[in-house]
């Protein structure tokens, strides 16, 4: 990593210019690329919670969530060429998606 430090225009973090593209750091580029998938993930997770609360079979929702997570992975791989970096970004994205479900639930 070389170059000067620049602030990301979305999160404001100082990042090396070599990691910045269109003014955004890698985390923010990934977040934007999967934003609507994350929203859908949160919606399906809430649906799954409702099914489970009623002791209903949530298998089909589980599969939908699984497919959604695969689409997230595909988008991240398309965006990040380095395999290790892509895998770390996917991990971060899935953690955030799964955490947001708990954030939303705690607001109820
Ligand atoms: Zn950023």
How far apart are the C-alpha atoms of 101 and 85, rounded to whole Å?
A: 25
C-alpha 58 – ligand 1 centre gap (Å): 36
C-alpha 107 – ligand 1 centre gap (Å): 26
Q: For 54-96, how does the pLDDT look when each residue is reduced to its tens digit (9 = 90+)?
A: 999 999 999 999 999 999 999 999 999 999 999 999 999 999 8
Q: Are 15 and 5 in contact (CB under 8 A)?
A: yes
Q: For 4-24, how does the pLDDT look when each residue is reduced to its tens digit (9 = 90+)?
A: 999 999 999 999 998 899 999
Burial grade of 1 (CB within 10 A; 0-12, 13-18, 19 or more)? exposed
C-alpha 25 – ligand 1 centre gap (Å): 4
How far apart are the C-alpha atoms of 102 and 44, rounded to whole Å?
A: 13
The model's pTM: 0.82
C-alpha 16 – ligand 1 centre gap (Å): 11
C-alpha 102 – ligand 1 centre gap (Å): 23
Residue 84 token pair: 């290790």
């Amino acid at each position: 990593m070389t170059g000067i430090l620049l602030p990301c225009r979305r999160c404001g973090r100082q990042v090396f210019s070599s990691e910045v593209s269109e003014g955004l750091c890698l985390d923010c580029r990934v977040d934007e690329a999967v934003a609507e998938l994350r929203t859908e993930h949160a919606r399906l997770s809430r649906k799954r919670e409702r099914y489970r609360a009623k002791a209903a079979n949530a298998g089909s929702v589980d599969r939908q969530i699984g497919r959604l997570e695969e689409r997230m992975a595909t988008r991240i791989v398309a965006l990040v060429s380095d395999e290790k970096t892509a895998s770390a970004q996917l991990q971060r994205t899935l953690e955030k998606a799964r955490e947001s479900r708990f954030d939303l639930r705690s607001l109820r």
